[in-house]
């Protein structure tokens, strides 16, 4: 709230409300629709009002044709408007002379419906389909397809349709005041208004005849909503395709839609008084006919949807009482709710580069990550807004924001100082994605620069899954959506975002199809979430990829975005050369750092899609044991993390007043914890060691090789590695007490955290039950009046692979060939929760190939990855994926 308000560039005043706004950035024009049936045209370089277009008959002041919504074609050749007279008008915009502040416009068509639809509240134009879609007061959704074909093919006797226009009809139902403050239908026409002069004016603007187009009855979707349709927003072409089934070959490519117009498809989202946001898909078949279908499910906002905006994958819904709901369109899940400081209806909403601008009666509220900025311009009740990038000179860019109000004021604001990151960053990223799409189309060869650009984009997403704030929640969803686009662009046959039932981050599924005769199906597991970063402890920005001295730095570069990109480009390299023999399935989750909740259920729900038969499971979620020797990992310990709390019904007490009178929670807890281990460190939980087996001679030799060849602490022994990697352990990790922490205060409650690491012979369920029973028994023996509470925070099964299987043998040969030395076979003391789960669900063996070095600092400050390791990993995997 302390951030400065944007700078006011210019202000215009009019006698009536500014109800709608649209900008033509390339033509440097601004159009404002007014309550008194006018369109005001401004020249942005000079800020002059260069034209006033009056709707209706004559030049009298009236509100029968109030301009409620404005829209433009993407090429800025046409202006569309809808209003209170139930008409949609189409204007041609040409001969713009910004130097002399002049413009020539021509009204080319009027679109009407034979049914009484009332006010037209919302309007969108679908460029690839030449289709107008508008939402109305009578809850119907109407569309007119192939508009310009209709204009070219229409007969000359259009005057016959004049008597059917809404201004010649009268319906008392729409003669009442709606929420816009004016009627939806004018009073009955007088004799004077039906003169031949009136007919001429309806058909002519700028001295040219224009056409009257009727909406076909089959293009009227009655009761599309159970209330007024206040807003319609559309998705960009490439985003529209992602709402389908993810099959790339079944959708038009966004960068090549002009070549595939007969198969074009676009999506809109309508919002209404029933609180529902509905997605509609418009598709043109090979005969040129446009059809529409609703995309399920509906999004229930539980309140009137007054305004909407999209910045894929998110839909932002402006509701009553200052509420904004944010939906993930990829998974159809509501991910966040924002509130403006004052509880007024959000009449208009604009979004640009993750910055959300909500307009209501109290002014403008900007939301960005955890920042909230509100400013109250010197205007009346705000009714309309638009955001755009101005470029008055090649080196001058300005992010501008327009607001219109009921006092007739129209204000232009400079947002450049409020925006994070800069416009240049956004443009470079957009350009990169465009180039990347074109590169994939042109079958570009593999190179590390392409990989770096891809990784740079991924690192920029602050996809933190541990206790995320709103900004990080949205960043994670946005990262998932970005990955799905990336997979699709780089050639995946099928891409899908799989929603997780508990509402955590979605799982990204991508399938690359091989062409081998007896192909295998290999699943690559990865994750796009990262642990939090303390920026003060980093030498560089953790969410900006930095390349120095042969290393890459950034949060997630080692764990796990870097290895994920390496695996992806290993596949892309083969695919672009038409050499991919096996099917590769990428399963990338967003919640690994919090124990992978919901992943197992997703795998069960989508087993058919992922693959009935998986042959191998690959992952890279660890590092070498030193900086010199490549490694293959075949074992991980499991884990049970628990919290034990002892508490009293008594409040915090003073040791001088109450000391010695009661059994104290902290003392009881210390006694309890002391019973978990003997003085020599042996774990005393009953049955803890019973399943353990002696280490085999082969495994012992592998650990001897690590001690002999790895550049690790020379004092470490094989026996210490055995204890760390192959034996279970119990650690006391956290201690917390209630109260102020004063040394004279007896805490009401005390909590200790313990972390138990398990080995493959042990079963998590049995050890967990034994721990719970043992703690309860020991507490009962204390005969304390206090209370015990125990919570299992998370758990993971241990894993042991077979380092002699076919996949490990292939990997061993590939690593030896690339690095010039045989890899060390290692185990680790840490845990990866999902490995055993995936092996069990898919009945396939897992293989773990570490990517980086022991100095990667994964989960720590200044996380890094050596570029040589990274690029070698890609080449190794490219070889292995085809050799299996």
84 touches 167 (CB < 8 A): no
Same domain, 106 and 197: yes
What's the confidence (pLDDT) of residue 349? 96
Q: What is the CA radius of gyration of the chain?
A: 33
- Residue 22: inside a domain, yes or no? no
What's the confidence (pLDDT) of residue 369? 86
Band of residue 263 on the pLDDT scale cut at 50, 70, 90:
low
> Catalytic site residue 424?
no
Mean pLDDT of 345-365: 93
**For the chain, what is the mean pLDDT?**
86
Is 856 in a helix, a strand, or coil? coil
Same domain, 600 and 687: no
- Residue 36: inside a domain, yes or no? no
> Catalytic site residue 431?
no
Same domain, 674 and 556: no
Prediction pTM value: 0.77
- Residue 333: inside a domain, yes or no? no
Q: Which of 209-213, 236-240, 865-869 has the lowest mean pLDDT?
A: 236-240
The model's pLDDT over 436-491, given as tens digits with 9 standing for 90+, comes to 444 444 433 445 778 888 999 999 999 999 999 999 999 999 999 999 999 999 99
| 739 or 776, greater pLDDT | 776
Neighbours of 778 (CB within 10 A): 17
The model's pLDDT over 157-213, given as tens digits with 9 standing for 90+, comes to 444 455 556 654 444 444 444 444 443 333 333 323 333 233 223 333 333 447 899
Percent of the chain with pLDDT over 70: 85
The model's pLDDT over 572-631, given as tens digits with 9 standing for 90+, comes to 999 988 999 999 999 999 999 998 999 999 999 999 999 999 999 999 999 999 999 999
Segments forming the whole domain that contains residue 732 = 638-692+727-796
Same domain, 128 and 76: yes
- Residue 397: inside a domain, yes or no? no
Q: Is the predicted pLDDT of residue 802 greater than 90, yes or no? A: yes
Residue 511 and residue 580: Cα distance in Å, rounded?
A: 12
| 530 or 195, greater pLDDT | 530
Same domain, 73 and 143: yes
381 touches 342 (CB < 8 A): no
Whether the bond between 474 and the residue before it is cis, its omega within 30 degrees of 0, is: no
From residue 350, give the alpha-carbon distance in Å to each of 3, 21, 347, 360, 366: 19, 12, 11, 12, 10
Catalytic residue among 107, 529, 797, 863: 529
The model's pLDDT over 328-348, given as tens digits with 9 standing for 90+, comes to 998 999 999 999 999 999 999
Total domains in the chain come to 3
Same domain, 517 and 618: yes
Q: Is the predicted pLDDT of residue 688 greater than 70, yes or no? A: yes
Domain boundary among 300, 326, 359: 300
Same domain, 687 and 652: yes
Q: Residue 557: which CATH number?
A: 3.40.630.10
Same domain, 605 and 647: no
Residue 523 and residue 500: Cα distance in Å, rounded?
A: 19
- Residue 566: inside a domain, yes or no? yes
- Residue 278: inside a domain, yes or no? yes
Same domain, 122 and 203: yes
The model's pLDDT over 370-386, given as tens digits with 9 standing for 90+, comes to 899 988 877 888 899 99
| 164 or 408, greater pLDDT | 408
Same domain, 557 and 682: no
Domain boundary among 269, 300, 331: 300
Is 788 in a helix, a strand, or coil? strand
Q: Residue 777: which CATH number?
A: 3.30.70.360
What's the confidence (pLDDT) of residue 463? 97
3-state secondary structure string across 364-426: EEEEECCEEEEECCCCCCEEEEEEEEEEEECCEEEEEEEEEECCCEEEEEECCCCCCCCHHHH
The model's pLDDT over 302-325, given as tens digits with 9 standing for 90+, comes to 999 999 999 988 999 999 999 999
Catalytic residue among 119, 592, 615, 699: 592
Same domain, 644 and 779: yes
| 446 or 499, greater pLDDT | 499
- Residue 842: inside a domain, yes or no? yes
Residue with tokens 């800069």: 422
| 28 or 425, greater pLDDT | 28
| 831 or 2, greater pLDDT | 831
Band of residue 62 on the pLDDT scale cut at 50, 70, 90:
confident
- Residue 238: inside a domain, yes or no? no
The model's pLDDT over 89-129, given as tens digits with 9 standing for 90+, comes to 999 998 776 555 678 889 999 999 989 999 999 999 999 99
What's the confidence (pLDDT) of residue 640? 95
Q: Is the predicted pLDDT of residue 46 greater than 90, yes or no? A: no
Band of residue 70 on the pLDDT scale cut at 50, 70, 90:
very high
Tokens of 391: 């470029």
810 touches 884 (CB < 8 A): yes
Domain boundary among 796, 818, 845: 796
Same domain, 853 and 738: no
What's the confidence (pLDDT) of residue 100? 54
């Amino acid at each position: 709230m302390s951030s400065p308000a944007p700078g006011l560039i210019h202000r215009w005043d009019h006698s009536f409300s500014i109800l709608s706004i649209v900008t033509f950035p390339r033509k440097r024009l601004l159009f404002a629709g007014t309550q008194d049936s006018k369109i005001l045209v401004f020249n942005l370089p000079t800020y002059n009002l260069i034209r006033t277009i009056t709707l209706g008959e004559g030049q009298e002041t009236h509100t029968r044709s109030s301009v409620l919504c404005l829209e433009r074609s993407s090429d800025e050749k046409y202006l569309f408007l809808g209003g209170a007279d139930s008409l949609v008008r189409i204007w041609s915009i040409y001969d713009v002379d910004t130097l002399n502040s002049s413009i020539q416009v021509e009204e080319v068509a009027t679109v009407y419906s034979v049914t009484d639809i009332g006010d037209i509240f919302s309007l969108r134009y679908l460029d690839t389909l030449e289709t107008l879609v508008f939402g109305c007061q009578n809850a119907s959704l109407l569309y007119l397809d192939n508009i310009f074909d209709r204009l070219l093919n229409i007969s000359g006797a259009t005057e016959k349709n004049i008597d059917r226009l809404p201004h010649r009809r009268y319906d008392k139902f729409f003669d009442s005041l709606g929420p816009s403050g004016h009627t939806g239908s004018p009073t009955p026409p007088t004799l004077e208004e039906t003169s031949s002069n009136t007919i001429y004016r309806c058909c002519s603007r700028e001295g040219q005849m224009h056409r009257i187009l009727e909406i076909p009855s089959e293009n009227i979707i009655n009761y599309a909503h159970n209330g007024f349709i206040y807003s319609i927003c559309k998705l960009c072409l490439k985003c529209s395709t992602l709402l389908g089934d993810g099959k790339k070959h079944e959708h038009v490519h966004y960068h090549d839609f002009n070549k595939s117009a007969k198969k074009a498809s676009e999506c809109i989202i309508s919002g209404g008084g029933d609180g529902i946001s509905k997605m509609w898909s418009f598709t043109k078949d090979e005969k040129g006919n446009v059809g529409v279908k609703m995309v399920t499910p509906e999004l229930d906002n539980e309140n009137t949807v007054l305004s909407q905006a999209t910045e894929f994958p998110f839909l932002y819904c402006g509701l009553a009482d200052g509420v904004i709901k944010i939906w993930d369109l990829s998974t159809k899940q509501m991910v966040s709710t924002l509130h403006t400081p004052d509880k007024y209806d959000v009449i208009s909403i604009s979004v640009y580069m993750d910055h959300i601008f909500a307009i209501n009666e109290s002014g403008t509220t900007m939301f960005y990550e955890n920042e909230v900025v509100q400013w109250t311009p010197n205007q009346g009740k705000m009714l309309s807004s638009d955001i755009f990038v101005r470029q008055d000179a090649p080196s001058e860019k300005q992010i501008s924001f327009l607001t219109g109000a009921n006092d007739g004021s129209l204000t232009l604001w400079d947002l450049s100082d409020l925006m994070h990151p800069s416009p240049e960053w956004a443009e470079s990223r957009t350009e990169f994605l465009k180039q990347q799409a074109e590169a994939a189309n042109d079958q570009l060869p593999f190179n590390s620069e392409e990989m770096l650009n891809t990784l740079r984009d991924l690192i920029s997403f602050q996809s933190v899954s541990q206790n995320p704030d709103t900004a990080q929640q949205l960043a994670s969803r946005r990262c998932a959506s970005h990955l799905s686009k990336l997979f699709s662009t780089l050639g995946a046959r099928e891409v899908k975002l799989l929603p997780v039932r508990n509402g955590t981050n979605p799982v990204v599924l991508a399938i690359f199809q091989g062409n081998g005769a007896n192909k295998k199906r290999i699943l690559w597991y990865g994750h796009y979430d990262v642990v939090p970063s303390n920026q003060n402890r980093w030498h560089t920005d953790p969410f900006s990829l930095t390349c120095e001295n042969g290393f890459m730095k950034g949060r997630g570069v080692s764990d796990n975005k870097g290895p994920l990109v390496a695996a992806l480009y290993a596949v892309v390299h083969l695919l672009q050369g038409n050499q991919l023999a096996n099917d590769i399935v990428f399963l990338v989750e967003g919640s690994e750092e919090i124990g992978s909740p919901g992943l197992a259920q997703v795998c069960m729900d989508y087993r058919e899609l992922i693959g009935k038969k998986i042959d191998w499971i690959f992952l890279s979620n660890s590092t070498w044991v030193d900086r010199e020797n490549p490694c293959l990992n075949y074992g991980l310990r499991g884990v049970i993390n628990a919290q034990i709390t002892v508490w009293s019904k008594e409040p915090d007490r003073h040791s001088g007043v109450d000391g010695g009178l009661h059994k104290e929670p902290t003392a009881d807890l210390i006694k309890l914890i002391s019973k978990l281990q003997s003085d020599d460190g042996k774990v005393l939980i009953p049955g803890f060691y019973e399943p353990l087996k002696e280490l085999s001679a082969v495994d012992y030799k592998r650990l001897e090789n690590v001690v002999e060849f790895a550049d690790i602490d020379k004092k470490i022994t094989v026996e210490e590695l055995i204890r760390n990697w192959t034996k279970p352990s119990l650690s006391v990790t956290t201690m917390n007490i209630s109260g102020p922490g004063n040394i004279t205060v007896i805490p009401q409650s005390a909590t200790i955290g313990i972390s138990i690491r398990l080995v493959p012979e042990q079963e998590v369920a049995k050890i967990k039950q034994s721990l719970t029973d043992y703690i309860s028994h020991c507490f009962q023996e204390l005969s304390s009046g206090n209370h015990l509470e125990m919570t299992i925070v998370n758990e993971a099964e241990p894993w042991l692979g077979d380092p002699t299987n076919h996949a490990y043998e292939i990997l061993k040969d590939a690593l030896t060939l690339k690095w010039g030395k045989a890899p060390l076979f290692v185990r680790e003391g840490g845990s990866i929760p999902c490995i055993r789960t995936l092996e069990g669900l898919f009945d396939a063996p897992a293989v773990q190939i570490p990517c980086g070095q022991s100095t990667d600092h994964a989960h720590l400050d200044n996380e890094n990855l050596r570029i040589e390791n990274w690029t070698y990993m890609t080449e190794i995997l490219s070889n292995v994926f085809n050799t299996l």
